[in-house]
Chains A and B, each alone.
Chain A
Amino acid sequence: MARKNRNPVGKNVDPEAQKKKTRTLTLKSSDGQEFSISESAAVLSIAIENMVEDDCAGGVIPLPLVDGGTLARVITYLNKHAEDGASDEEKRKFDEEFVSGMEMGVLFDVVLAANYLDIRGLLREVRRRIADRMKNKSVEWVRKTFHIESDFTPEEEEQMKKEFAWAWEGVDSDVDD
């Protein structure tokens, strides 16, 4: 992976890292949109890094499991994290804002893309955001959001609710925030 380089005009610049910054790759989404991205940003995805190393990139990298809208978001994230001179604090703030406005459906798309592209930091951030949203929500809200149908009988559900009644106290309303 590209070495962090805070002094691009200095003498001790890693020539390999420098090359990665100037070289661009093209990522192609499932719906045919093409995006240019510097190699140093793209290889923050372990999956893309592997493709580049195996030299199967060949100019355009097709990503058939990621649609254009999601890929654009992922690229925004990668660019920020590959940015020279961006402090950890800045990146942390960016991460927070990056996921805060997303609806659950978008978060699901991004978590799937981050999983597929193997971008650990993004995956962790989105997972945490999803968990945060569902933390105080009702069982019904969780089912609806995750597209799950209950396979418990009403009696079984009632029994579980009775066993840990305290866990059902203080649950938020089902209105999404």
Chain B
Amino acid sequence: MDTIGKQYSLPEDIIIDILLVLPVKSLLRCESVCKQWYAIIGSSMFINKHFHHESNHTRLLIFRRHNHSLGKPSDPEDNTFALFLDEALQIREQPKKSHIPYAIRSLHGPCKDVFCIRNSNHQLALWNTATRRFDYARVPQFSIYTSKTDSWRCFENKTILDVHDFVADPEHGTTFLNGFYYWRKRIDLRESFLLALDMHNEVFQEIQLPCSLRRGTINLHLCNESIVAFGRFGEFESKVPNRHQLCLFKPAAALQIAAAATTARPLLSKLIIALQNPSSPSAAQIRRLKRRRTLFLHVS
């Protein structure tokens, strides 16, 4: 056997298992080793397995949004990003200006590692935080991007959508879980519900929110295998945690709200520590890029 390892390359299944343990940065280099490796690393089977692999660490994206101050519109130039590459929030990476050339107005997602970004010129771009690819896209309104074919497909069913759901309301987080994309649909100032879009068949489902979350601002994010709807209200007491309402739900079968919680103190206090940056403006959003231990925060 001493000779086998030295003269011949390893069988493909062992190679795949070794590559699965490597970080994305190494994989991007390994793609150019040979065509076989290029095909392995680029396959959707491999990408999916790697995304869920235990060695693929949770990353954390913090997006600071400058809020409207009275009488003044918010300036996207004031919005900033920081990408943390490890759980302990030690390794921090500031996306370079050359990397993201315009100020970011809003961000949607993530769908796996990919965020959809809108810049101050209202251009859309896809930002893959794992490979750090940043691609501008000319997109017709209401379309679905398929990474496999690198193409955009227009929606058939447009009646339920309103451009304001996305564009005029960048503060309302949208999120993706298990093949569904979720966002808030507002009926009027007093009433809103969640829309869930099945990405495979483009069928919409409506999810009722608890009464307390139907008004005010809501952000949707991931928390483990659940969606978190996180609301902010003026009428609550002034301490930060109390002003927020948190609703966790498992969107699995019936798309029912399984549990509503009004206190989220452990979650919040952990994240507020992570966010302490004295020079920061008024708002911040945190998104974990992984489903495991996914956390999010929106404070003001």
Interface residues of A (CB under 8 A from B): 30, 65-67, 69-70, 105-109, 111-113, 115, 123, 127-128, 130-131, 134-136, 138-139, 142-143, 146-152, 156-157, 160-161, 164, 166-168, 171
Query: How many A-B pairs with Cβ below 8 Å?
Result: 104
What residues on A are CB-neighbors of B9 within 8 Å? Answer: 146-148
Q: Which of A130, A148, A164 contacts B28 (CB 8 A)?
A: A164
What residues on A are CB-neighbors of B131 within 8 Å? Answer: 164
Are the C-beta atoms of A151 and B34 separated by less than 8 Å? Answer: yes
Q: Which of B7, B17, B25, B38 contacts A147 (CB 8 A)?
A: B7
B239 at the interface (CB under 8 A from A): no
Complex Cα distance, B132 from A136, in Å, reads 18
Known: A109-B1, A109-B2, A127-B18. A143 touches B33 (CB 8 A): yes
Complex Cα distance, B21 from A147, in Å, reads 20
Of B14, B17, B29, B133, most buried by chain A (CB within 10 Å of CB) is B29
B23 at the interface (CB under 8 A from A): yes
> Size range of the interface on B?
35 or more
Known: A139-B33, A150-B33, A151-B35. A112 touches B2 (CB 8 A): no
Are the C-beta atoms of A112 and B10 separated by less than 8 Å? Answer: yes
Are the C-beta atoms of A147 and B8 separated by less than 8 Å? Answer: yes
Known: A147-B9, A151-B34, A164-B132. A112 touches B4 (CB 8 A): yes
- A–B Cβ pairs within 8 angstroms, 9 of them: A105-B5, A109-B4, A115-B13, A115-B14, A135-B26, A146-B9, A149-B34, A157-B32, A167-B29
Known: A69-B2, A127-B18, A146-B9. A139 touches B30 (CB 8 A): yes
Q: Lowest 4 CB-CB distances: which A-B pairs, in order?
A: A108-B5, A167-B28, A131-B21, A67-B1
Q: Which of B2, B10, B29, B35 contacts A168 (CB 8 A)?
A: B29
Question: Among residues 1 to 49 in chain B, which have CB atoms less than 8 Å away from a CB atom of chain A?
Answer: 1-2, 4-11, 13-15, 17-19, 21-23, 25-26, 28-35, 37-38
Are the C-beta atoms of B30 and A142 separated by less than 8 Å? Answer: yes
What residues on B are CB-neighbors of A113 within 8 Å? Answer: 1
Complex Cα distance, B26 from A160, in Å, reads 13
Interface of A: prevailing SS: helix
Interface of B: prevailing SS: helix
Complex Cα distance, B8 from A148, in Å, reads 9
Supplied contacts A107-B5, A127-B21, A135-B23, 11 more A-B pairs, CB within 8 Å: A67-B1, A70-B1, A105-B6, A112-B10, A115-B14, A131-B18, A131-B22, A148-B34, A148-B37, A151-B34, A166-B132
Residues 121-156 of B, flagged 1 when their CB comes within 8 A of A and 0 if not, give 000000000011100000000000000000000000
What residues on A are CB-neighbors of B6 within 8 Å? Answer: 105, 108, 147
Q: Closest Cβ of chain A: how far from B44's Cβ, in Å?
A: 19
What residues on A are CB-neighbors of B33 within 8 Å? Answer: 139, 142-143, 146, 148, 150
Of A69, A138, A151, A167, most buried by chain B (CB within 10 Å of CB) is A167
